[in-house]
């Protein structure tokens, strides 16, 4: 991956940019991202980790600004696909049946995350206003938590969710 990120992809993108074909650059960035993601999955890693690695590889190119600008238009589409696919994994009958427990656990996770963020901010000497704002901003459960939960479930670390 390091060789790919530092030697191969920058040269490939440089060659493609010299063609001055905008669509070819966009397709090459997409092909790079999908290829790295699927290669990572083939190696036994998750697609999400592969996509993360692909993002790192593209970001090492001198054309990362252009790639980012081109990908912005696709960001909403991919985000929608992600949340729809995650939503399809949720067993709504479980959520409805155990709604108080689900709300309690979600609340507990949010309180623990806010407390950890606040503790870290206080330890490093951040002003109280900033500590509170950061704690509330970071206490929600991010979308990558669903990916981690699914990966944990696949190796037997939890039950179906």
Q: What is the pLDDT along the chain (161 residues), one digit of tens a residue?
A: 788 777 888 888 888 888 988 888 888 888 888 888 888 889 888 888 888 888 888 877 787 777 777 777 777 787 788 778 877 878 899 999 999 999 999 899 899 999 999 999 999 999 999 999 999 988 887 766 777 777 777 888 766 54
Q: Which residues does 26 contact at the CB level (< 8 Å), separation at least 6?
A: 70
pTM check: above 0.85: no
The CA-CA-CA angle for residues 161, 79, 112, to 5°, reads 50
Q: Token pair 């330890």 is at which residue?
A: 123
Proportion of the chain in helix, strand, coil states, percent, rounded to 5: 80, 0, 20
């Amino acid at each position: 991956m390091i060789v790919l990120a530092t030697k191969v992809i920058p040269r490939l993108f440089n060659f493609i940019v010299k063609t001055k074909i905008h669509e070819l650059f966009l397709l090459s960035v997409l092909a790079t991202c999908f290829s790295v993601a699927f290669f990572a999955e083939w190696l036994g890693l998750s697609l999400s980790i592969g996509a993360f690695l692909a993002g790192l590889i593209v970001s090492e190119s001198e054309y990362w600004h252009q790639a980012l600008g081109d990908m912005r238009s696709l960001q909403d589409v991919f985000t929608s696909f992600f949340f729809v696919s995650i939503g399809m994994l949720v067993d709504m009958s479980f959520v409805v049946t155990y709604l108080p427990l689900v709300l309690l656990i979600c609340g507990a996770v949010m309180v623990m995350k806010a407390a950890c963020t606040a503790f870290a901010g206080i330890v490093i000497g951040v002003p109280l206003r900033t500590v509170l704002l950061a704690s509330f901003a970071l206490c929600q459960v991010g979308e990558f938590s669903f990916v981690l939960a699914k990966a944990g479930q696949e190796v037997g670390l939890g039950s179906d969710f």
